[in-house]
Chain A
Amino acid sequence: MIKTQGLCHVYQPGSPFEKHAIEDISLHIQKGEFVGIIGHTGSGKSTLIQHFNALEMPTSGKVYVDGVDTSAPKADLRLIRRKVGLVFQYPEHQFMEETVRKDIAFGPSNLRLSQRDIEECVLEAAAMVGLRPELLDKSPFDLSGGEKRRAAIAGVLAMRPGVLVLDEPTAGLDPAGRDELLTRIKEMHENGLTVVLVSHSMEDIAKTAQRIIVLNEGRIAMDGSTAYVFSHADELGAMGLSVPQVSVVMALLRKQGVSIPDAVYTVDQAKRVIIGLYNKAHKE
């Protein structure tokens, strides 16, 4: 679906503010994957994902979306942006219409669909993020924080992208709003959407992603399954990142001699393992 080769991006080249944001990034995201991207502040996560839908162009290297080179002169950028839906950080800061319905319809109407198709896209997207239909005729500015965030994500989903890329979708939400949103995103993935999730929260990534790409100072530091990445707590620590708290607890238990399988990093998994151990101990 998305492939990059030796991708580099330099901001403001030639000025005193020149900044090599990402360097030599080669990755391949396949259809149906759920990829988490983690990295320290300023490691280039947002820069990287903006290349996925051709909002930023590589300074050198290539990005291919469905085999199409985004920097080719005749590449259809709007088609690429439709295929790869990108949700920015704090997307609710960008509401522009007086009702939620119209705001969600912004994307589909840019595709010049018929009124009926637009309406269908809007309702479908609202349902995907779990936005109650009666909220659609409210002003987006009157929604709660979690609802705002979901409405903004619906605005991107309404274009029916094949890949959904989210930049810190849970930032600034309360725990309930967070869980609800993550559950929704997971559901979408189960229904066939390819998802790329950028997050600072290891817990969020642990709950959702199958594969993790770790960025450090603009380069890929690790790329592997969730279990693989979270088993390298020391390397992550050296980059200023941590593993999920549950992993830490499990590692400590392992050190105490308790036999705990690998790849336990969410509360749910830990619960199951501990109950299993308890039951076993009871029987004996």
Chain B
Amino acid sequence: MSGQDAPIVELRNIVKRFGNVEALSGVSMTVRKGEVLGLLGDNGAGKSTLVKTLAGVHDPDEGEIIVKGNARKPWTPLAARDAGIETVFQDRALAPQHSIVTNIFMGREITNAVGLIRVQRQIDEANRLMREIGFTSKVFNPESTVGHLSGGERQGVAIARALYNQADVIVLDEPTTALSLTETQKVFRFVEAVKASGRTVVFIGHNIYHVWEIADRFFVIDRGREAFEGEKTAFTGADHLIEMMHQLAETGKADTDTLVNAA
């Protein structure tokens, strides 16, 4: 395995139950350094649950989380962020009554030695970040209330927050839903930029053509279990992947023999 392919995050045999519902029944997923991993699956398959486990939000009932070679326990949202994993959650995890800048620095406030917030510094940083992202509409500024923003703009805030720290791994749970075509292209450019800087992306999306465009590898889960995975090169094209997803939905099993170089 070359340095490029080294695993940066490994989830091993993750089981997560909510009451009687077993959302994840022993999923093992490896994320390699520098790749864009497309995480696919039907509604309710368990993608967000897996992502929240990776982000430290859910404590798995069974299984291990290994980041940069070390098994992590206890694994909390703070531990995940400290380990260099930033997540754009499906629900965006925003505080709607507060400003863009307060949201961007939520849990990561820039403070002085006694914990007083460096207000101007945070505003400057937020301004810089928003300009970088192309988030420069005249009608809002870093002090605008998030609850007054449109759905797409809120997504922009969540994405900006994830990009702020130059984290090693950026996890995006359906970042392009509710985005216009141009905004979606923008998100793709961020993903490419993150990848170009040698960092890693986990990307969840329902539009398979979108995910196809940017991912290097695909990991598909079905009702809490791994269905199949494969490099982009193992598929003949997006339609091949879609065909397999259809098979999975209809028969509960995809024909992995059609994968090129299938092991």
Pairing of A with B: no
Which of B's residues lie within 8 Å of A, judged by CB? Answer: none
